[in-house]
Structure 1
Amino acid sequence: MAYFNEDRASSVRSTMRQDPRGCPTSTVSAAAIEQMEQALESMLSYFGDALAALDRAQAADPGWAHAPMVKAGLLLTVGEYETTRQARVALATAARLAANAHEREKAHIIAAQAAADGNWDRACELWDAILVQWPRDVAALLFAHLFDFYRGDALNLKRRPQRVLPRWSPDSPFYGYVLGMAAFGLEESGHYCEAEDAGRAAVAMNPRDPWAIHAVTHVFEMQGRHRAGAEWLDSHVEDWAVDNGFSFHNWFHAALFQLEKMDTQAALEVYDAQLAPVADMALQRVDRTAILWRLKLLGVDVASRFAALRGTWSTDAPTAGFYAFNDLHALIACIGADGSGADALLAAMANAASGGSSNERMTRKVGLPLARAFRAYGAGRWSEATEGLLRVRDSAHLFGGSHAQRDIVTLTLLDAAVRAGERRLAAHILAERHPAKQHTPLTAFWHRRISGAKTQRLDYQ
C-alpha cells in the first residue's frame, strides 16, 4: 500500500507517546489516547460504543492514522460485506494520514488491508508479526483472534494468546481480556480443564468480561454439564446480559443448555424473548437460525418463526457469498421457511467458490458442499443429504465457528441418516457423544429416534 503525506507538519509527531501498555503511538494528544483506550475496552468487553469513541479519538487528533485504522479493523471483524465496505473507507483515511504514523501503526494498516482484500490468512500473519514486536498490542491480538475464529484456526486461537501472555503482567490494562481470549482458545483446542481455570480467573479479575464468561460456558457445553452451564450463565446474568453487544450469543448458549435437557419450551422462550428481537448482524441471525433448526430437528413446529427470520437474510450477492459460515445459516433459514431464496443463495456460493481469497477457499472446501447437502435434506433426499453431510463433517472446522455451533451439522446428519434408514450409521455417529453427553436427555432422545422407539412429538408454537 502506498502512503502519502497529509499537508501537516511532521514535527508535530516528533515527540512519540506510548499507550498504557507501552506500545508506541504517533499521536501527541492525551485526549486521543484516552478515547482510544475507551474504544479498545468497548471492543474487548462489548459494552459501550467503540465506533463513537474512535470518532472522538480522531476528532481529538485529526491527523492520527491509527484511529481510522482501528475503526477499519473493528468493522472488518463483523465479517459482513457491508461493514467491510465501510472498513475500506476508513482504511483509505488511515492511508492518507499514514506518512507520519509510527511503524507499528503502518503495519496495522497493511494487515487490515489484507483482511479487507479477503486474504484473512495473510492478515493474521501480519497481525502476528506486529505482536512479535509489540506483544501488548491488544488491537492486533483481538483482530487476529476473531479472524482465527472465522477461519476455524483452533491452533492459533490457543497459541496466539499464549505467545503474548508472558509479556503481559496482571496489572497491565486489559490483561484479564487477554486471559479470556486464551481461555476460549484452550476450550476450542480441547483443553477443557485449563480453559475453565483461565476463564474463571479472567472473570475473577473482571466480572464484566462476556468473552471469558462465554469461554467457560463453552467448557460446560463440551463436557455435557448443561445444568452447571445454565447455573453459570444465570449467576453472571447481570454482568453479560444488560446493555451488552455480546449478550445475544450467551443467550444462544442458554438456549442450548435448555435443549440438552430437552426443555424445548424453555428454549423457545429464550428465543422469543432474547434472540428474536435482534437481527442487525449476521452473527445474531446465525444464532437465531441455529436454535430454530435444532428445535425443528426435535419435532417442534417453528415454521412461522423461520418465515419471519428468513426475511432478515439476504440471499443475493454480494452479501450472499461473502462468508461461507453465514451463507450456510442463511440457506438453513430458507429451508426452514418455504425454501424460497435457497437456489439464489446456492448460486451466489457457487460463484464465490472459485479464486484464492480465504472465503473462496472455505466456500469451495466446506460451505458449498454443506449447503448442497442441506438443500438435499430440505428436499427430502435423505440418502443424498446423509452422504453429503458425512463427507464434509470432519473438515467443517475449516469454515469457522465453534465446536458448539458446528454441532448443527452432526445433529442434521443424525436426523437425515434415520430418515434414510441408515440407523446403524446414526448410532455410530451418536456414540461420539458418549464420553461427555451419554446421560443427557437430548442424547436419550436421539437413542430413541435411532432405535425406532416411540418419541414424543413436540409442537410448541
Structure 2
Amino acid sequence: MDSLIEHTDRAARGAAIRRDPRGLAISAGADSAILAVEQAIESMLSYFGDPLQALDQAIAADPGWVHPHTLKAAVLLTLAEYEPACEARECLDRAEGLARGANERERAHLVAARTVAQGDWERGCELWDAILVRWPLDSAALLFAHLFDFYRGDALNLRRRPQRVLPHWSRGLPLYGYVLGMQAFGLEESGQYGEAEETGRAALEVNRRDPWAVHAVAHVHEMQGRHAEGARWLGTRQADWAVDNGFAYHNWFHAALFQLENMDLAAALDTYDAHLADATDMALQRVDGTAVLWRLQLLGVDVDVRFERLAGYWRTEAPDAGFYAFNDLHALVAGIGAGSSPASAAGRERLLAALAEPSSAGASNQAMSAQVGLPLARAWLDYARGDWPSAAEGLFRVRDRAHAFGGSHAQRDILTQTLLDAAIRAGDRALATHVLNERCPAKASTPLTAYWRERIGALAAAQPGQ
C-alpha cells in the first residue's frame, strides 16, 4: 500500500499526496477506495469483473472522493444507450457536489464526462485528449476517448490517440498491455494490418487474457481474408477470452464471421444459437446478433423465428430509439428480418421517426442520424418493400461515408453485402460486379466471395448480350 502514497513535507504540502499505481495524483482519502478504483479500471479494460460494482465499493469506502462517481458515469455512457446515460447524469450531479475537493485532473474528467452526457461526443474526446496531453498515463481517459472514437467512426484517432501516449508507458507499468491492445485495434482500423497484428500479439505477451488484443488480431484476419487462420486464432485462445468475460459475445461474432466467410452456414447458425441468441441485455450485444442473423438471411438461411425473438428485445420507441443511430439501424434491420407482422411494421415506423427527429440525442447523434442513419434506414426499407433498385442506389450512395456513425470495417460490411444482394436482385450486374471487386485481392478466393461471384454469373447467364 505504501506504493500508492507519496509522503511529502506536510508543512509544505499540508498532507501526503496519494497516487495511483502509475503515479498520478488522486484526492482519495481511503486506501481501499484507491484499490477499488484500480480494480474498476482494469475491469473496464479487460472486461473481466464488474467495474460498476468496484466503483460502488470505492464510493462506499470514500464517499467524498469525486473520481469514482465520474468514472461510473463515464462507464455508463460507454454503453451508448438512453437509460444508462440518464443514470450517468445522476452520477455526475452527485459528483458536481464533491468537485471542490478534487484535483485538477479529476475535475477535467468531470467536465469531459459531462460534455459527453450532454451529447457532444466529439468535444468529449477532445477534453479527454487534453487530459492525456498533461497526464499521458491516465488509462481511463485513454479508454473512454478510444471507445467514443469508435462510436464516432474516428479511425484516425483510434490509431493516433494510443500512439501519442505510448512513449510515456513501459512494460513495467500496470495496464501497459491494454494500451498496446488499443493501439493494435486503431492500427487495424487504419489499414495497417501487419503492424496491427504485431502490436496485438505483443499486447498478449504482456497479458494473454486481453480480449481487446485478441479481438484486434481477429480483425486483421478478417480484413485480410484469412478466415481459416482467424478461426484457429480464436479457437486456440478460447479459454482466454470466452470464459466469464464481458467481451466474449463480440469475439463470438467474429467467430461467426469466419464461418460465414467459409460459407459454413450451419456452424455460423450454431454459433449464434450457442453464444449470441441470449446475449440481449445491451444494445452492443443485440447489434452483433442482428448482424449475424441478417448475413445468414442474405445467404438463404431461414432465421425468421430467431429474428422475431431478437426483434422483441430491441426498443423502437423514443427516447430509447433516437439515442445512437448505429443501434437504431440494427434495430430496424432486426424488425425487417422478423417479417411483416403489425408489431414489426409499427416498430419500423417508430424507428424511422426517431432517426428523422432524434429527440433524446445531442449534437453528435443528430449529425450521425441525419447524414448516415436515416438514409441507410430508408434504403433498408426500400429493400424490405422489394424495391431493389432504390435499395441498391441508397446503400451505394451512403456506404462510403457510413464510418461516420461508428462501428468497425467488419461490422459495416453488412452494408456491402446487403448492397450486393439488392443489386443482384435488381438485375444490376455492373453495380454488383463493381462492388464485389472491393473484396479482391484480400478475399478473392474465399467461399463467400465465390458465392457472390456465382450469383452475379447466374445473372449474366439470364441477361445475354448485356
2:420–2:435 CA contact under 8 A, matched in 1: yes
Residues 207-222 of structure 1 mapped to structure 2, 5 A cutoff: 207-222=208-223
Equivalent position SS for 1:436: coil
Shift of 1:352: 1.7
What residue identity is the alignment partner of 1:395?
Answer: R
Please say if 1:379 is aligned against 2:380: no
Residues 308-457 of structure 1 mapped to structure 2, 5 A cutoff: 308-339=309-340, 340=344, 341-352=347-358, 357-452=363-458
The residue aligned with 1:30 is 31
1:73–1:87 CA contact under 8 A, matched in 2: yes
- Tell me how far apart the structure 2 counterparts of residues 402 and 263 of structure 1 sit (CA, whole Å): 23
What residue identity is the alignment partner of 2:238?
Answer: V
Shift of 1:15: 3.3
Provide Cα deviations, 1:279-322, integer angstroms capped at 9, x if missing partner: 00000000000000000000111101100011000111000010
- Tell me how far apart the structure 2 counterparts of residues 79 and 278 of structure 1 sit (CA, whole Å): 16
Shift of 1:451: 1.2
Equivalent position SS for 2:440: helix
Shift of 1:93: 1.1
Please say if 1:162 is aligned against 2:168: no
What residue identity is the alignment partner of 2:403?
Answer: H
- Tell me how far apart the structure 2 counterparts of residues 16 and 43 of structure 1 sit (CA, whole Å): 25
What residue identity is the alignment partner of 1:389?
Answer: L
The residue aligned with 2:123 is 122
Shift of 1:277: 1.3
- Tell me how far apart the structure 2 counterparts of residues 353 and 201 of structure 1 sit (CA, whole Å): 44
Structure 2 unaligned segments of length 5 or more: list them.
1-12, 462-466
The residue aligned with 1:103 is 104
Residues 14-25 of structure 1 mapped to structure 2, 5 A cutoff: 14-25=15-26
- Tell me how far apart the structure 1 counterparts of residues 290 and 14 of structure 2 sit (CA, whole Å): 49
The residue aligned with 1:85 is 86
- Tell me how far apart the structure 2 counterparts of residues 226 and 355 of structure 1 sit (CA, whole Å): 38
Shift of 1:354: 11
What TM-score, normalized by structure 1, do the two folds share? 0.95
Please say if 1:229 is aligned against 2:206: no
- Tell me how far apart the structure 1 counterparts of residues 387 and 154 of structure 2 sit (CA, whole Å): 32
Equivalent position SS for 1:452: helix
Residues 51-62 of structure 1 mapped to structure 2, 5 A cutoff: 51-62=52-63
% identical equivalent positions: 65
2:181–2:203 CA contact under 8 A, matched in 1: yes
2:318–2:359 CA contact under 8 A, matched in 1: no
Residues 193-204 of structure 1 mapped to structure 2, 5 A cutoff: 193-204=194-205
Provide Cα deviations, 1:137-170, integer angstroms capped at 9, x if missing partner: 0000000000000000000000000000001111
Shift of 1:16: 2.1
What residue identity is the alignment partner of 2:69?
Answer: P
- Tell me how far apart the structure 2 counterparts of residues 73 and 208 of structure 1 sit (CA, whole Å): 24
Shift of 1:30: 1.2
Shift of 1:424: 1.2
Equivalent position SS for 1:52: helix
Which shows bigger deviation, 446-455 or 72-81?
A: 446-455
Shift of 1:388: 0.4
What residue identity is the alignment partner of 1:363?
Answer: S
Please say if 1:240 is aligned against 2:246: no
Q: Report the RMSD for the aligned CA atoms in angstroms.
A: 1.6
What residue identity is the alignment partner of 1:441?
Answer: P
Residues 2-13 of structure 1 mapped to structure 2, 5 A cutoff: none
1:437–1:443 CA contact under 8 A, matched in 2: yes
The residue aligned with 2:75 is 74
Residues 169-180 of structure 1 mapped to structure 2, 5 A cutoff: 169-180=170-181
Distance 1:395 1:318, change over 3 A: same
The residue aligned with 1:145 is 146
The residue aligned with 2:3 is none
Equivalent position SS for 2:442: helix
Runs ≥4 residues deviating over 6 A: 353-356
- Tell me how far apart the structure 2 counterparts of residues 233 and 355 of structure 1 sit (CA, whole Å): 36
Shift of 1:13: 8.6
Structure 1 unaligned segments of length 5 or more: list them.
1-11, 456-461
Equivalent position SS for 2:209: coil
Equivalent position SS for 2:278: coil
Please say if 1:188 is aligned against 2:189: yes
- Tell me how far apart the structure 1 counterparts of residues 361 and 151 of structure 2 sit (CA, whole Å): 18
Equivalent position SS for 1:17: strand
What residue identity is the alignment partner of 1:418?
Answer: I
Shift of 1:348: 1.0
- Tell me how far apart the structure 2 counterparts of residues 453 and 388 of structure 1 sit (CA, whole Å): 21
1:80–1:319 CA contact under 8 A, matched in 2: yes
Provide Cα deviations, 1:192-213, integer angstroms capped at 9, x if missing partner: 0000000001011101100000
